[in-house]
Amino acid sequence: MRPPRLGVLGSGKGSNYVAIAEAVRSGSLDANIMLVASDFPDAGILTQAHAFGHHALHIPPGPFRTKMSPEAESRLVDALHDAGTDLVILAGFMRVIKEPLLRAFPNRILNIHPSLLPAFKGLEAWKQALEAGVPEAGCTVHLVDAQIDAGEILAQARVPVLPGDTAATLHARIQVEEHKIFPKVIGNYWRELQSV
Give yes or no for a contact between 113 and 125, defined as CB atoms under 8 angstroms apart: yes
Counting contacts by CB under 6 A, is residue 38 touching ligand GAR? Answer: no
Residue 47 vs 191, nearer CB to ligand GAR: 47
The C-alpha atoms of residue 52 and residue 175 are separated, in whole angstroms, by: 20
Residue 32 makes CB contacts below 8 A (sequence gap 6+) with 3, 4, 5, 6, 24
Among 178, 183, 185, 190, binds ligand GAR (CB under 6 A): 178
Counting contacts by CB under 6 A, is residue 54 touching ligand GAR? Answer: no
Whole-number minimum distance, CB 195 to ligand GAR, in Å?
Answer: 28
Residue nearest to ligand GAR according to CB distances in the complex: 92
Residue 181 makes CB contacts below 8 A (sequence gap 6+) with 112, 139, 141, 155, 156, 157
Counting contacts by CB under 6 A, is residue 183 touching ligand GAR? Answer: no
Q: Which residues pair with 36 in a beta bridge?
A: 8, 56
Whole-number minimum distance, CB 43 to ligand GAR, in Å?
Answer: 8
Counting contacts by CB under 6 A, is residue 128 touching ligand GAR? Answer: no
Counting contacts by CB under 6 A, is residue 48 touching ligand GAR? Answer: no
Among 35, 87, 89, 112, binds ligand GAR (CB under 6 A): 112
Residue 84 vs 174, nearer CB to ligand GAR: 174
DSSP calls for 41-70: TT-HHHHHHHHHT--EEE----S-SSB--H
The C-alpha atoms of residue 151 and residue 109 are separated, in whole angstroms, by: 10
Counting contacts by CB under 6 A, is residue 156 touching ligand GAR? Answer: no
Give yes or no for a contact between 40 and 11, defined as CB atoms under 8 angstroms apart: yes
Q: Which residues bind ligand GAR (CB under 6 A)?
A: 10, 12-16, 91-92, 112-114, 125, 139, 175, 178
